[in-house]
Amino acid sequence: MKKTLLTLLFLCFLSSFTYAQVTAGQIDDFEDDTVQGWIDGSATTPVNISSDGPAGGADSYLEDYATGFTGSGGRLIIFNESQWTGDFASEGIIAIRFNVRALTNDIDVRVAITGDGGKFSSSTFVTVAAGAGWTTVTIPIGASDLTSVGDGSGSLGAPGFDVNGTLGDVTHFRILSNPVASFIGEFINAEMHLDNIEALTTLSVNETKKVDFSIYPNPSRSKLNISLAQKTNDTKIEVYDILGKRIHAQALTGTNTSINASRWNAGVYLVKITNKTGTQTKRFVKE
């Protein structure tokens, strides 16, 4: 009898452990009226909302918010340490797709992971406009799509950080808002709704499209020159400093544009260009 009970306990433990590992194609749709293991570690605990998801009606979704104030609950970030941990590489997971809706303020959503190889943030982020309704976002997370963010205390790109090591054994997975590659969310007064968080093993043609552009010279002391591979009528550029503050924004009406950067502080900037084709973000160094 005792042996039987021990066997049952072991099987229950094994079942629980297996469930906690990421699998290709898994989806968190929140239709079970729970938060499915998602937390934010602060007083602004995420909650399951039973209606008005992307499908409307009784479609459930996850709601989370940040106050924007310094301290607990000020940053927009949500994480999972159960079914979104494990070996992403062997499962062939190359991207995360989810529905997101922003209230109060625009948010810049990206994903981040950590494991034995260190902390990494998706190089790509997608701006979701407040009040624009539900948006489908796809964030690539292959080894070439991730940026090392060290230990979160300034060791960006530190030697020894191994993206493949982390992808092979993710211990912590998060979705956050920050226009700069980071493991932590930005301080922002915003509300974020999430649904249908899915582990993708393939990408459609539309999901792989990016705006094709180049920056020259890079680094530069005075000019940020942008060259677009193709002209479209809805192209815009936004430039962010390393703290996530937008310092420049304008529409691009031609294939070649020159922006005066002489008054910008020396440092690294993120140049984001968006049009109907997609979005692409590149680094620019001001000397």
Per the confidence metrics, is the pTM higher than 0.85? Answer: no
Assess whether 232 and 173 both reside in one domain.
no
Assess whether 214 and 157 both reside in one domain.
no
3-state SS class at 116: coil
CATH of the domain at 247: 2.60.40.3080
Can you give the residue range of the structural domain that contains 88?
A: 20-203
Has residue 7 been placed in a domain? no
Has residue 3 been placed in a domain? no
Q: Give 194 or 158, the one with higher predicted confidence.
A: 194
For residue 209, what pLDDT band results from cuts at 50, 70 and 90?
Answer: low
Assess whether 124 and 197 both reside in one domain.
yes
Assess whether 103 and 153 both reside in one domain.
yes
Q: Last residue of some domain: 203, 235, 263?
A: 203
Q: Give 209 or 63, the one with higher predicted confidence.
A: 63
Assess whether 158 and 255 both reside in one domain.
no
- 213-216 β-sheet, strand order: 213-216, 223-228, 256-260
Mean pLDDT taken over the chain:
85
Give φ, ψ of 135 to 5 degrees: -125, 140
Residue 10 has pLDDT above 80, yes or no: no
Residues 251-264 have a mean pLDDT of 92
The pLDDT tens digits for 46-93 are: 999 999 999 999 999 999 999 999 888 999 999 999 999 999 999 999
The pLDDT tens digits for 137-182 are: 999 999 988 999 875 333 334 444 789 999 999 999 999 999 889 9
Assess whether 38 and 154 both reside in one domain.
yes
Assess whether 104 and 144 both reside in one domain.
yes
CATH of the domain at 52: 2.60.120.260
pLDDT attached to residue 206: 65
Give φ, ψ of 141 to 5 degrees: -135, 30
Contact call for residues 231 and 277 (beta carbons, < 8 A): no
Has residue 180 been placed in a domain? yes
